[in-house]
Structure 1
Amino acid sequence: MHAAKLIDSGGIAMAFIQGPYGVHAMFHLFESWFERSTPMLQNNAISSHELIQGLRELGADPEMRILATPIDLTGLFEPEPVAKLVLSELLSFCLQLEFNLLPAQQRADIIQYVEGGCVEKEGKLLWYLPNAAVYLKL
């Protein structure tokens, strides 16, 4: 929103809204399971919809495009130890906690959720999540 005030006539500002991969999609579904000693990063974040609303309140007319953004998870659901380690690290990043410390059933449910959201395309297993591109022109 600060950039909106700094754009000269004819200028363009663009913002891509995304957090740790998957946080936005998994946050409401799984957050109640976790005991955190510090607030979740999501609590302090701004969503693309909040950004659009704020820009409109400033009198701007932003445009938002939702872009399907894939991450290649090919092989990460295999039983090999390396695949399990990489998947655990990815999910730790996505959820902003140590995935391997969760109870086994919670880990299984989260893995099933992520695997169920994947699509096979050209021999790859892709996990798509929407990311917002917000354009502001003056």
Structure 2
Amino acid sequence: MKKSLLKAVAFIGLGFGTTLANPNSQPMPTAPNQGQNLQKVIDIESYSHQERIRILQEADQCIHNAKTKEEYRACEEKEKQEREQLKQKVFEMRKQNLLNELSNHPNVPQSIKDCVANATNHEQLKACHEQLKALRQQFKQDKIH
């Protein structure tokens, strides 16, 4: 999941501005904040790592303090719930970052922006990424011919 989403963000943030053509067949200028875009991706990933570490440390402490099977199971259930909550939060952070990147590119069709905005899980976001890849290929072919 992370690899595809990171590829999508990197694709938009670092390479998309140089491959799309504007209506006058002039290349779009490269976004001046590419370094900021990469930093946002890194910040989100770092946050994800730190939160996973925190969850595991708390779970480890909990299971070591458990005196019964029920307490142990409660620790495991709490860990599972926290991991799921984090997974959804990080997905939303990444999706919002991608939406911000797409908003900086006026030649990206609204249908692709809507696809990303409406995505509720990784599979749906991956389908949006496939649309972006197809658009990029189309612009490359149009630029060659």
TM-score after normalising by structure 1: 0.33
The structure richer in strand per residue is 1
Larger-gyration structure (1/2) = 2
Relative contact order (alpha carbons < 8 A, sep ≥ 6): 1 or 2 greater? 1
The structure richer in helix per residue is 2
